[in-house]
């Protein structure tokens, strides 16, 4: 999805968004892509109940963080930026939980 959304932005939105909005959109794609790779990596690890939470938090982060930035970039409604930090909190919580699981396993 991140690749498709990024390609859409690069080709279909390039002439429709100003520089600020394109920067916001690109940031959303970047965080979407990195955390989708995180979900893939975690899903390949040996099963543990906490890892399901890591994936859920990463997904919530993508939806809230990247989703709000996508919407902000396309609509220009700055109030949508208020949702973005909630996604960031989900990202941080996911990585902290993953670190905890890794330390606990060793």
Q: What is the pLDDT of residue 21?
A: 95
Buried b (16+ CB within 10 A) or exposed e, 29-67: bebbbebbebbeebeeeeeeeebebbbebbebbbebbbb
**pTM (2 d.p.):** 0.92
List the chain domain ranges: 2-105
Residue with tokens 């700055």: 78
Token readout for 95 is: 């990585």
In the prediction, which pLDDT does 106 show? 78
Q: What is the pLDDT along the chain (106 residues), one digit of tens a residue?
A: 999 999 999 999 989 999 999 999 999 999 999 999 999 999 998 877 899 999 999 999 999 999 999 999 999 999 999 999 999 999 999 999 999 999 988 7
Which residue, chain included where needed, has tokens 């902000």? 72
């Amino acid at each position: 999805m991140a690749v498709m959304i990024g390609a859409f932005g690069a080709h279909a939105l390039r002439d429709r968004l100003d520089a600020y909005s394109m920067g916001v959109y690109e940031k959303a794609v970047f965080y979407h892509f990195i955390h989708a790779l995180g979900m893939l990596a975690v899903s390949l690890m040996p099963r543990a109940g906490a890892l399901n939470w890591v994936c859920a938090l990463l997904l919530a982060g993508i939806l809230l963080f990247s989703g709000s930035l996508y919407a902000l970039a396309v609509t220009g409604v700055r109030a949508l930026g208020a949702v973005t930090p909630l996604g960031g909190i989900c990202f941080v919580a996911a990585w902290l939980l993953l670190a905890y699981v890794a330390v606990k396993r060793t």
